[in-house]
């Protein structure tokens, strides 16, 4: 009866919709089911190999050691690699199995592909936080990310800055040439911002109307001024008559609230409008 039961278990494991892996205490693969073929691997050829070879280089095995040392199950998301190197988002469940004396025999892991879920989640996030006209983030996302980036900067002892600007005489332009032309101008500004900031480091936002804000991380003065100057230079190259940008730059200071940070940079934009110097730091 037991032998028959184990045969059924093996069939279940071979045909489940999740990748099922049994690993020894050194994180070497002892068994992997047929589901792994969907990702370009031969299960028999994986036996004896390091489990980490199936994951991206960001994974170092620290959480596996935690499972071994604490003898407790642990669930977390990983970047699983197809045989061609393509990354798949997967939810990993890791459970230790031990004998009557408390010695761990092996660790059972399952990998559930959540890539489609992550794509859907990204689309939902974008529909909530992306300004449809400019392709920049909207003000709803601004305060959330400011809080996160300020906490991160404090932890890493780095600087955070915000650049705020609006378009001088935009209302007159909109009134004279129409909303369609005004919207095209705002789209152009959105493209200029996205092409001027550092990808994966800085973030661009449409603050409202013709007002824009850029969140600068690792905000050394040379870098921050360079980004502000580059945006204004590219805008002026568009040759819109009687239009310019008035820009303010403000750095986060310890103890300052996000509200005060925005108020201070907004005042600098106002000063820039009244000054020949169009970038006030």
Largest CA distance in the chain: 90
237: domain CATH number? 3.30.70.270
- Domain tally for the chain? 2
Q: 137 and 271, same structural domain?
A: yes
Look at residue 108 and tell me if it is in a domain.
yes
Q: Other C-beta atoms within 10 Å of 29: how many?
A: 20
Tell me what the mean pLDDT of segment 198-218 comes to.
94
99-136 pLDDT tens trace: 888 889 999 999 999 988 888 877 777 778 889 899 99
Q: 269 and 244, same structural domain?
A: yes
Q: 275 and 214, same structural domain?
A: yes
Q: 161 and 238, same structural domain?
A: yes
Tokens coding 173 = 């332009």
In which domain, by residue range, is 42 found? 2-118
For the chain, the distance separating the N- and C-terminal CA atoms, rounded to the nearest angstrom, is 79
| Block residue for tokens 């303010």 | 248
Look at residue 36 and tell me if it is in a domain.
yes
The span from the CA of 24 to the CA of 107, in Å, is 6
Look at residue 155 and tell me if it is in a domain.
yes
134-158 pLDDT tens trace: 999 999 899 989 999 999 999 989 9
79: domain CATH number? 3.30.450.20
> Please, where are the H alpha helices in the chain?
2-15, 43-46, 62-70, 115-129, 139-156, 170-177, 179-196, 221-236, 258-273
Phi and psi at 29, nearest 5°, equal -80, 125
pLDDT band at 2 (very low <50, low <70, confident <90, very high): very low
pTM score: 0.61
Look at residue 217 and tell me if it is in a domain.
yes
Look at residue 125 and tell me if it is in a domain.
no
Q: 114 and 28, same structural domain?
A: yes
């Amino acid at each position: 009866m037991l032998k028959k039961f184990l045969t059924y278990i093996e069939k279940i494991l071979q045909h489940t919709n999740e990748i099922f892996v049994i690993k020894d205490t050194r994180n070497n693969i002892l068994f992997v089911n047929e589901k792994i073929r969907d990702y370009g691997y031969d299960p028999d050829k994986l036996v004896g190999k390091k489990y980490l070879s199936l994951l991206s280089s960001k994974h170092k095995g620290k959480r596996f050691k935690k499972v071994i040392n604490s003898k407790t199950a642990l669930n977390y998301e990983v970047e699983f690699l197809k045989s061609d190197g393509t990354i798949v988002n997967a939810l990993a469940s890791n459970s230790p199995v031990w004998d009557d004396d408390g010695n761990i025999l092996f660790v059972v892991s399952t990998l559930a592909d959540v890539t489609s879920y992550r794509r859907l989640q990204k689309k939902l996030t974008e529909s909530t936080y992306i300004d449809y006209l400019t392709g920049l983030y909207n003000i709803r996302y601004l305060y959330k990310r400011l809080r996160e980036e300020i906490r991160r900067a404090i932890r890493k002892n780095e600087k955070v800055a915000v650049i705020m600007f609006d378009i001088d005489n935009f209302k007159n332009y909109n009134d004279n040439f129409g909303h369609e032309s005004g919207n095209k101008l705002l789209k152009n500004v959105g493209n200029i911002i996205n092409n001027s900031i550092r990808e994966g480091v800085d973030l661009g936002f449409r603050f409202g109307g013709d007002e824009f804000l850029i969140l600068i991380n690792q905000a050394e003065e040379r870098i921050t001024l360079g980004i502000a100057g580059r945006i204004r230079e590219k805008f002026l190259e568009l040759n819109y008559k009687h239009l310019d940008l008035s820009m303010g730059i403000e750095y986060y200071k310890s103890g300052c609230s996000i509200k005060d940070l925005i108020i201070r940079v907004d005042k600098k934009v106002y000063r820039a409008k009244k000054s020949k110097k169009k970038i006030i730091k």
